[in-house]
Structure 1
Amino acid sequence: MKYTQYFLYTRQRPDRAYIKDEWIDFTIKNPVQTQIQSDGRIRKWAKIEEEGKYLRVILLEDGETIHNAFFDRDFKEV
């Protein structure tokens, strides 16, 4: 997986450090929803069963480079 410097920096935060690479990979490959932001970045969400929460992964326009990943408290699956 490729990462932005921003992702590597924010991943050091205690609330992000426990997010597993396999959860990020699962979200990228099995999203329940995908959106394209106005800046071209790609948002993907998937439910992480172990946590009972939805993980949001934001990719750069290339669809490969991970820019951000966090549990989205406001996401509701439709």
Structure 2
Amino acid sequence: MDYVLSNHARNELQKPERSNIKREWIDQVLTDPDYSDIDERTNTVRKWKRIPECDNRALRVVYSPDKQPPVVVTVFFDRRFKK
């Protein structure tokens, strides 16, 4: 899936606690998520995938499907993901 990172997503990925998030993991979340839903308030799609290389933590990717290519709004490891 082709996508672009928003300024916010790029800035988040530069933070020390998120700098270990690999672009290939974002690709995996977008193409083969473990779970996804739509936030109807903001019309964004949220997708999660467990990343074995990071102690099986769930990486959450939020993107706006209204743009072409889709714009990734934010990326982070979601401690609250339980599925």
Moved over 6 A (4+): none
Quick one: distance in 1 between partners of 2:20 and 2:57? 13
Is residue 2:65 matched to residue 1:61? yes
Q: CA RMSD in A?
A: 1.3
- Residues 3-56 of structure 1, C-alpha deviation per residue, up to 9 Å, x if partnerless? 111111121111111100000000001111111112101100001011111100
Alignment partner of 2:47: what SS?
A: strand
Query: Where in structure 1 are there 5+ consecutive unaligned residues?
Result: none
**1:71 corresponds to which of 67, 77, 80:** 77
Letter in structure 1 aligned against 2:16: P
Using the size of structure 1 for normalisation, the TM-score is 0.90
Q: Percent identity?
A: 34
Length, aligned pairs only: 77
Using the size of structure 2 for normalisation, the TM-score is 0.85
Quick one: distance in 2 between partners of 1:62 and 1:34? 17
Query: Where in structure 2 are there 5+ consecutive unaligned residues?
Result: none
Q: State whether residues 35 and 48 of structure 2, in contact with CA within 8 Å, keep that contact through their aligned partners in structure 1.
A: yes
